[in-house]
């Protein structure tokens, strides 16, 4: 299968995949995933919960990785459009499942990310450029994903269209927040 990424991006994703698969990192990610799922369970009105991952658990990482996160997305929801104006997001499924959709300017493009570590890298990983709308459409169980961003955790911005804006893909108004500043239950 030909790659949809440049050779440089493909190499970076291979390095991230190896780092996240290392036994020490995988053990830490499992513990964080359990905590994030517990946070989501305590907040039945929320569609997602998250926790930053200390970068040192991965060992050496390629240049340009500023933060890592574990997100739990609630089963049966579409998270709605969001984008990160200041960061590229690279991600893969940890548990559960769903369809991570990326808007190409005209339509949503589906990316069903399998949890199967034996599946090809191109099927398991997604690389989303800055300022690109995306959303998770979650299946019948909560979906845990691991993501890497190009900015440090204190700087990562999530931007969503204002619910009253008539054009969510070219909004005149958006709502911004930094994950690091949001208190979770």
More confident residue, 168 or 176: 176
Q: Summarize pLDDT for 131-144 with one digit per residue, the tens.
A: 999 999 999 999 99
39-57 core/surface letters (b: 16 or more CB in 10 A; e: else): bbeeeeeebbbbbbbebeb
Q: How far is CA 7 from the centre of its chain?
A: 22
Taking only the tens place, the pLDDT of each residue in 137-171 is: 999 999 999 999 999 999 999 999 988 888 878 88
- Is residue 3 very low, low, confident or very high in pLDDT (cuts 50, 70, 90)? low
Q: Which CATH number fits domain 7-181: 2.60.40.10, 2.60.120.10, 2.60.120.560, 2.40.37.10?
A: 2.60.120.10
**Tokens found for residue 1:** 């299968």
Please identify which residue in the block is written with the tokens 């190499």: 11
Q: What are the boundaries of each domain within the chain?
A: 7-181
For the chain, what percent of residues have pLDDT higher than 90? 85
The whole-number pLDDT of residue 135 equals 97
**Of the segments 2-6, 99-103, 116-120, which one has the largest average pLDDT value?**
99-103
Average pLDDT, the chain: 93
């Amino acid at each position: 299968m030909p790659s949809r990424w440049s050779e440089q991006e493909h190499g970076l994703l291979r390095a991230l995949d190896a780092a996240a698969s290392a036994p020490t990192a995988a053990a830490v990610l499992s513990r964080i995933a359990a905590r994030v799922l517990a946070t989501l369970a305590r907040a039945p009105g929320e569609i997602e919960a998250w926790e930053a991952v200390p970068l040192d658990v991965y060992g050496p990482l390629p240049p340009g990785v500023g933060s890592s996160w574990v997100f739990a997305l609630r089963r049966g929801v579409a998270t709605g459009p969001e984008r990160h104006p200041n960061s590229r997001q690279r991600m893969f499924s940890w548990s559960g499942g769903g369809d991570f959709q990326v808007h190409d300017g005209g339509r949503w493009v589906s990316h069903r990310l399998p949890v199967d570590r034996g599946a090809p890298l191109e099927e398991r990983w997604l690389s989303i450029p800055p300022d690109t709308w995306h959303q998770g459409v979650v299946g019948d169980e909560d979906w845990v994903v691991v993501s890497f961003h190009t900015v440090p955790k204190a700087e990562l911005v999530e931007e969503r269209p204002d619910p009253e804006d008539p054009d969510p893909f070219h909004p005149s108004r958006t709502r911004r927040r930094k994950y690091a500043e949001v208190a979770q239950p």
